[in-house]
Amino acid sequence: MAVLAWGEGAGSPAISEPVQNEDFYNRVRASGTGYFEVGSSVVDRRMGLEYYSFMYGDGHLEMDSKSAVSNRAMNVQGTLNGSSAPLNLLEDVKMSYSGETPMVGMKYIHSNDFYGGIGAEVQEFFEVTEMEKIQTTYFASTDPASQVSDPANASAIRGGSPAHLVGMDLQSSFNGTWQSDYRWHKIFYKDIKEHQTFSGVFDVERSLRFHENPTFDGFKGL
């Protein structure tokens, strides 16, 4: 099991939220045998978010996937280490695959510092003939108290907000190759990189977080 957590700092304030909310929710359940393609992308410069996910294969697939995206963080509530937290993106995936033809997939998430993010990015790739996976991907960049006028209430809300946050939690068993790369780059003063490749038959558990926030009360267990 790998637990990776980098942070915290006060360099990038949370992004102010607009008055008008924009929300997206998607739920997919699939069970069957044959060819499939599943992909999604979310690019929102006002949140500093770039997210891409895609996979395809030809075999037996069982999948339960749900995702939510909002520019108002209070509209997407996630549970991280037992703590409820407002998020801008949350994706939960439970799936299993088996087939003679490998299933190939990738996932990429980036908190773009040019648009107010923290410069953290995570990329993973897999090519497997068998896989069971439970994975949660989450992202937070906006200030959920942006439109709150009462100072005490705003302070309490900010104390429960993890922005900025980029993270993935993974439990997976597979036969094939799984590769991941993480990077957190701050021009002139920070450059953190990590690479992992597993090829063969493996069980992997991983909790990964890039976190930068001066007021968040913290995650239980970290």
pLDDT of residue 6: 54
What helix, strand, coil percent values describe the chain, rounded to 5?
Answer: 5, 65, 25
Per-residue pLDDT, averaged over 142-156, amounts to 89
- Candidates 143, 160, 189; CA nearest to 11 is 189
Q: Please tell me the distance from the alpha carbon of residue 172 to that of residue 33, in angstroms, as a whole number.
A: 21
Residue 112, helix vs strand vs coil: coil
Q: What is the pLDDT of residues 47-83, one digit of tens each?
A: 999 999 999 999 999 999 999 999 999 999 998 777 7
> Which tokens go with 77?
């509530």
- Candidates 104, 208, 210; CA nearest to 165 is 210
DSSP state of 78: E
Q: Domain residues of the chain, as ranges?
A: 2-211
Is residue 206 exposed (0-12), middle (13-18) or buried (19+ Cβ within 10 Å)? Answer: middle
pTM beyond 0.85, yes or no: yes
C-alpha dihedral, 74 to 40 to 106 to 44, nearest 10°: -50
Q: What is the pLDDT of residues 157-181, one digit of tens each?
A: 888 889 899 999 999 999 999 999 9
